[in-house]
């Protein structure tokens, strides 16, 4: 039950690379780390999920929170590298229709 969070800030965008499991135990850590980047004006956040092996609904909650915060600040979020299982989670919840999601590991804009 562990997560690794790597943040790379570039001029145009911030890339957050995640690996491990996102569940009730690790979600608060992810929220704390990622949230400040969504509160800047017009931030572009890219989240690489290719190393994520498990995510439950609490993890999904973090992404909804990030998405709402970015929307409020005219920012964007792109999720890349989703496994089939993660993709299904975003499909079922209808989030795939409103979020920018690329399931391949190469996340082109």
Q: Which residues bind other proteins (CB under 8 A)?
A: 23-24, 31, 54, 56-58, 60-62, 64-65, 67-69, 85, 92-95, 97-98
Q: Among residues 8 and 32, whose Cβ is nearest to other proteins?
A: 32
CB neighbourhood size of 97 (10 A): 9
Tell me how far CA of residue 105 lies from CA of 17, 48, 50, 97, in angstroms.
Answer: 11, 8, 6, 19
Shortest CB 77 distance to other proteins, Å: 13
Smallest separation (angstroms) from other proteins to the CB of 14:
19
**Nearest distance from C-beta of residue 10 to other proteins, angstroms:** 26
What is the number of alpha carbons within 13 Å of residue 1 lying toward its C-beta? 9
């Amino acid at each position: 039950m562990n997560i690794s969070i790597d943040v790379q800030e570039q001029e145009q965008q911030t890339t957050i690379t995640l690996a491990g499991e996102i569940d009730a135990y690790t979600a608060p850590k992810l929220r704390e780390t990622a949230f400040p980047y969504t509160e800047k004006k017009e931030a572009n956040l890219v989240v690489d999920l290719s190393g994520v092996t498990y995510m439950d609904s609490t993890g999904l909650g973090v992404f909804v929170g990030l998405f709402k915060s970015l929307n409020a600040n005219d920012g964007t979020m792109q999720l890349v590298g989703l496994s089939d299982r993660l993709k299904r989670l975003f499909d079922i919840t209808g989030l795939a229709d409103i979020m920018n999601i690329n399931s391949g590991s190469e996340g082109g804009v």
